[in-house]
Structure 1
Amino acid sequence: MKNVVQTKNGTTPRRKIYAVDLFCGAGGLTHGLLKAGVDVRLGVDIDPACEYPYIANNNAKFLLKSVEELDVSELECHYRKNGIKLLAGCAPCQTFSTYNQKATESDKRWWLLLQFSRLVDKLLPELVTMENVPRLIEQNVFDEFVANLESKGYSVAYQVVNCAEYGIPQQRKRLVLLASKLGEISLLTPQEFGNGTRTVKEAIGDLPPLEAGTSHPNDPLHQCSALSEINMRRIKASRPGGTWRDWPRELVTNCHKKLSGKTYPSVYGRMTWEDPAPTMTTQFFGFGNGRFGHPEQNRAISLREGAILQSFPADYEFTRPGEQVCQKSIGRLIGNAVPVTLGEVIGTSLLSHVSKMTREAYRLKK
């Protein structure tokens, strides 16, 4: 019973959680929150490519607008009276990513977290959640974000989690923050959430085979990049879990022959069936961009396979029917997304928290 809380003497109504998702992207966090039972009313993003997948797959509205230009009134109207307000979001994380070696505080995206904080101050929702890359925890802007929440009376909890431990078929470490005005809060542990580890084979092993540079007629998203002649030779010389060091000397790239190149052994690598995938980046569809080679087939993984490894449902729509698929655009949406299952973990944690706080409030009244 999702709208009541069981107590010793019967049931009490549970206030529903209504959410707005800032920096919503293609809807990974929203979709996970919805699966958990959170009513997401609105997604906000500045990227027009997000609008179709967000609306097509989620029972929510979409606002194409920069968070910097948002007025709190544009959010308030989407919440419901007597409900619990949740403000959620993942400010663009490339600024803090380990893949970005040139980020400085002059990068505009550095301060988008403070725009999130500004909206929290104006809206004062009962619940807040934020997901981002682990390196954000080392930055002053994150300390400022947390301190501001605490000054407004929020209980704040944050930690770095490995998505693979929650049943996401991918080794992806993320920083997850939860904040509540209702009382102390925490993220469910992997054991409490209850999903076991999932491997690449379990996730994508039953998808139809593809040749490099082709797509499946029944699913335009199940398409993969073409390979040059030399890259076809390279992938044929690659073994699952191996590196370019397994290749004959004539196939090794010039950059790998340099001392600096030897620190990137996973580039041009194949995944293994028996393990979770590596972190999906925005370039996962390219064989030369990481360990994104298919474990068996001589190709990089497809867009659909990347989406499934991000725990999107196998039928999640990213393009309108009949619309040409742009690999770069869709790959960016998929790679930047919050894994759907991580969104579900967050949503389930919030619902569990609200139930607990409701029971405690009921007990105190008695």
Structure 2
Amino acid sequence: MYEKDFTVIDSFSGAGGLSLGLQQAGLNIKLAFDNNKYAVETYGKNFRHPVLLESIENINGNDLLKSVGLKRGELSLLAGGPPCQGFSVQRRGEDKDARNSLVLEYARLIEELKPTFFLMENVTGIKNKRGASYVQEILELVTKMGYHTQMETLNAADYGVPQSRKRVFIVGEKPINDRVFFEFPKKKYQPENYRTVRDAIFDLPTPPEDFSDHPLYPNHRKERLSEMNRIRISHVPQGGGREFIPEELRLECHKVSVEKAGHRYVYGRLAWDEPAGTITARFDSFTRGKFAHPVENRSITLREGARLQTFKDDFVFSGTKVEVAKQIGNAVPPLLAESLGYAFTEALRKRKEFNRSENRAYVYN
């Protein structure tokens, strides 16, 4: 049920996976913003509320509140995941990274808006050595603002997404008389009944041979492959990787053992009856991961990736192939976001009821 008073601003919104799930759970998305023009174009096509093409550094909290008709402290939820490259395991050099300023900007926006809740999403790398300082910094800042925080690692497969995808979520809440009400959603699925690749994409027809979009399914288009890559992937069984490619057909860098070369899942094929691995921003090519179709000798299409992320077929993406793959791979799966959304609506209802009971107790006592 739609809750008009349960308001949300989605920052770093991307294509809108998080917004879509929160909206499906009954939250009222008032506005979103992102600095990627293709993502903003996609977002604008799929939602009725405003979306701004703007970087957080140029966003003023007072202006945001005026544009959505709210005062400071009235917003229910500020959502988003400020990207942070400073803790990347691939990155070398100093632990501090100028791009971590986005974390400080996000904290600034929390201070300017004073929402009841905030939600931050990020990769599990925030728990490694570099990420620990990132987490500590944001937690110290928001604690000084009066927020109680909780942090959990959630696997999207536990919430009905046909994909093993672990992400860290941090939730901050303004306590009422030292009480907090938010609880992370309980798991809905177990490994034995996870939704699978078959559940997600089996009914999709083979995309047209002429590399055009399928007439009934937007973004469902076969990508061109070299003849050698078609031969290579033909040797890989469901769930397998490059180790199944005959050595004489492998790239030179793949002729050493899998353990020594690393990246064992490149040139990999999905299995019908298992969840997909994490859909990344470059899932559009099986040369970068386990992204080949379970039985056809091709990479999965953008639409198949979108389904594995639980976007419905009427959600249309804009931009080049690379940009669309990035939008899909970077999104919070809408079905996971919906479970989080219901957790927020439940907490907001409990807060309302608690405030009513406190007021009644004050009146009658």
Same fold by TM-score greater than 0.5? yes
Cα distance in 2 for residues equivalent to 1:135 and 1:314: 31
Indicate which of 39, 48, 73 corresponds to 1:50.
39
Kindly report which structure 2 residues correspond to 1:64-79, keeping only aligned pairs within 5 A, or say none: 64-77=53-66, 78-79=68-69
Instruction: State the match for 2:5 in structure 1.
Output: 16
State how far apart, in whole Å, the 2-side matches of 1:115 and 1:67 are. 7
Q: Which amino acid aligns with 1:331?
A: A
- Give matches, 1:87-166, under 5 Å: 87-93=78-84, 95-97=86-88, 100-102=90-92, 105=95, 107-137=97-127, 138-166=131-159
Q: Quick check: 1:22–1:89 contact (8 Å CA) kept in 2?
A: yes
In 1, Cα distance between equivalents of 2:221 and 2:173 = 42
Distance in 1 separating the partners of 2:226 and 2:161: 32
Change (3 A) 1:71 1:35: same
CA contact (8 A) 1:87 1:120 kept: yes
Q: Look up the SS of the partner of 1:139 in the other structure.
A: helix
- For 2:323, the equivalent position in structure 1 comes to 329
Percent of aligned positions with the same letter in both sequences?
35
Q: Is the 8 A contact 2:33 2:40 kept in 1?
A: no
Give the counterpart letter for 1:42 in structure 2: L
**Counterpart AA for 1:88:** A
Distance 1:105 1:335 in 2: 26
Per-residue deviation, 1:212: 7.0
Partner in structure 2 of residue 11 of structure 1? none
> Cα distance 1:95–1:326, how it changes in 2: closer, same or farther (>3 A)?
farther
Name stretches of at least 5 consecutive residues in structure 1 with no aligned partner: 4-14, 320-324
TM-score (norm 1): 0.88
Q: SS of the counterpart of 1:175? A: strand
8 Å contact kept, 2:85–2:97: no
> Within 2, Cα distance between the matches of 1:95 and 1:283?
21
Amino acid at match of 1:241: G
CA contact (8 A) 1:111 1:141 kept: no
1:298: which partner in 2? 297
Q: CA deviation at 1:80?
A: 3.8
Q: Does 1:339 align with 2:333?
A: yes
* C-alpha distance after superposition, 1:197-241 (max 9, x if no partner): 211100111111136772423334001321111100011111011
Q: CA deviation at 1:96?
A: 4.1
Q: Give the aligned partner of residue 221 of structure 1.
A: 219
1:174 equivalent in alignment to 2:167: yes
Partner of 2:342: 348
Give 3-state SS (helix, strand or coil) of 1:190's partner. Answer: coil
Q: Structure 2: 5+ residue runs without aligned partners? A: none
After TM superposition, give the deviation of residue 110 of structure 1 in Å. 2.2
Number of aligned residues = 347
